[in-house]
């Protein structure tokens, strides 16, 4: 049996976790939390084998809060990554928020609640149809659905998953309200144990680089260590070190395993110019395949 910490039942994370982990013939115990901090801490404190972390979204980009937790607050290696479609829906009680003719009564909706990332994926929809509604952020999409369920008759609605609506006895008022159809979220499986349930043809490595101070052209040299070896990078992002204004580290995703010959030598070259390198994980990368 393996155990995994995840955002609340019925969240996008929960659906994505089941997509990834179920069906390997191994029993999985899920531990649900309302806040992402508790998801990380459960695995960091040894209560679960893995934590399921949404890290990047097609529309909203990197989830900086989750990146910061991964880098600054815990030391949990990345063991796998996969993408999962993020289809968000407007959820509420149709008896309360629908006209007699069956049309959605937008003017009766006074509040929309959701996870900030899910809400950001529906910005255009909310502007067009619900500009008058108050928008409120909560810890997960399913948490939003639960709060709406517990507050009937107030004109509240949530943005979230079909399964959360069903679990809470609410209705899909409008389906697929995300601004673009091609909306995917990239998830990480983090924890101390390597992930061995499934093989993948593609491997990635994520590293964190802190440049030496006052070293002109340091970033250029870092990138050239990869480019002349023809090592492909899939993401480079800078985040503040939080130690001094203007100090940043670079988070780089590399399309190569640490087991390859080339990558360790590129990293050694980068360290030789005075950069600090921390490997966040070298892991299989899985593509989404509709089942
Ligand atoms: O609230 C949820 O349902 C989550 O799983 C969180 C989360 C996120 O943090 O990115 C995950 C995927 C969705 O794209 C929106 C929100």
What is the set of domains in the chain, with CATH numbers? Answer: 2-85+184-190 (3.40.190.10), 89-174 (3.40.190.10), 202-286 (3.30.70.260)
Segments of the chain scoring below 50 in pLDDT? none
| Environment class of 258 (CB within 10 Å of its CB; exposed 0-12, middle 13-18, buried 19+) | middle
Per-residue confidence (pLDDT) for residue 248, from 0 to 100: 87
Paired tokens of 174? 């409008």
- Would the CB of 10 count as within 6 Å of ligand 1? no
* pTM score of the predicted model: 0.91
88 within ligand 1 shell (Cβ under 6 A) = no
Contact yes or no for 159/177 (Cβ under 8 A): yes
CA distance 173 to 171: 6
Query: Reading across the β-sheet that carries 134-137, which strands appear in turn?
Result: 134-137, 111-114, 156-160, 89-92, 171-174
Write down the number of H helices and E strands in the chain.
10, 15
Ligand 1 binding pocket mutation candidate from 52, 63, 85, 115 (most atoms within 8 A of CB): 115
Note the pLDDT of residue 213: 79
Q: Select from 4, 10, 11, 70 the residue to mutate for testing ligand 1; criterion: most ligand atoms less than 8 Å from CB.
A: 11
Q: What angle do CA 252, 253, 255 make, to 5 degrees?
A: 140
pLDDT at 22: 85
Q: How high is the pLDDT of residue 198?
A: 86
pLDDT at residue 288 in the model: 85
What's the 119 CA to ligand 1 centre distance in angstroms? 9
Strand-pair category, 184-190 with 202-210: unpaired
Beta-strand (E) ranges in 108-228?
111-114, 134-137, 156-160, 171-174, 184-190, 202-210
Residue 208 backbone phi and psi in degrees, to 5:
-120, 125
Cα 11 to middle of ligand 1, angstroms? 7
CA 191, CA 79: separation in Å to the nearest integer? 7
The residue behind tokens 């393996």 is 2
Q: Give distance in angstroms: CA of 217 to centre of ligand 1.
A: 37
Question: Which residues 6+ apart lie within 8 Å of 90 measured at CB?
Answer: 104, 112, 125, 157, 158, 159, 172, 173, 174, 175, 177
Q: Which tokens in the block code for residue 132? A: 């008058």
The CA distance from 12 to 39, in Å, is 14
Distance 75 CA to ligand 1 centre (A): 22
What is the per-residue pLDDT for 254? 98
Question: DSSP 3-state assignment of 270?
Answer: helix
ipTM of the complex: 0.89
CA of 10, closest atom in ligand 1: 3
Shortest-distance atom of ligand 1 to CA 139? 1
Centre of ligand 1 to C-alpha 197, Å, is: 24
Share of the chain above pLDDT 70, in %: 100
């Amino acid at each position: 049996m393996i155990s995994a910490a995840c955002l609340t039942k019925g969240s996008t994370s929960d659906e994505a976790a089941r997509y990834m982990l179920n069906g390997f013939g191994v029993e999985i115990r899920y531990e649900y939390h309302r806040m992402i901090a508790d998801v990380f801490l459960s695995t960091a404190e040894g209560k679960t084998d893995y934590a399921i972390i949404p890290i990047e979204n097609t529309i909203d980009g990197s989830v900086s809060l989750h990146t910061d937790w991964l880098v600054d607050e815990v030391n949990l290696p990345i063991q796998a990554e996969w993408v999962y479609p993020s289809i968000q829906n407007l959820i509420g009680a149709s008896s309360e928020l629908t006209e007699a003719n069956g049309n959605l009564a937008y003017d009766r909706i006074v509040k929309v609640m959701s996870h900030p990332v899910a809400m950001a994926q529906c910005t255009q929809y909310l502007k067009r149809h619900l500009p008058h509604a108050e928008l409120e952020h909560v810890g997960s999409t399913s948490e939003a659905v639960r709060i709406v369920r517990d507050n009937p008759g107030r004109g509240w609605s949530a943005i979230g998953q079909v399964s959360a609506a069903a679990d809470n006895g609410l209705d899909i008022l409008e389906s697929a309200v995300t601004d673009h159809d091609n909306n995917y979220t990239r998830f990480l499986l983090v924890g101390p144990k390597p992930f061995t349930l499934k093989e993948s043809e593609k491997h990635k490595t994520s590293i964190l680089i802190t440049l030496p101070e006052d070293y002109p052209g340091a970033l250029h040299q870092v990138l050239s260590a990869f480019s002349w070896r023809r090592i492909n990078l899939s993401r480079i992002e800078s985040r503040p070190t939080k130690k001094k204004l203007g100090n940043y580290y670079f988070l780089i995703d590399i399309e190569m395993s640490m087991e390859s010959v080339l990558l360790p030598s590129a990293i050694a070259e980068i360290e030789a110019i005075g950069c600090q390198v921390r490997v966040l994980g070298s892991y299989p990368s899985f593509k989404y395949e509709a089942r």
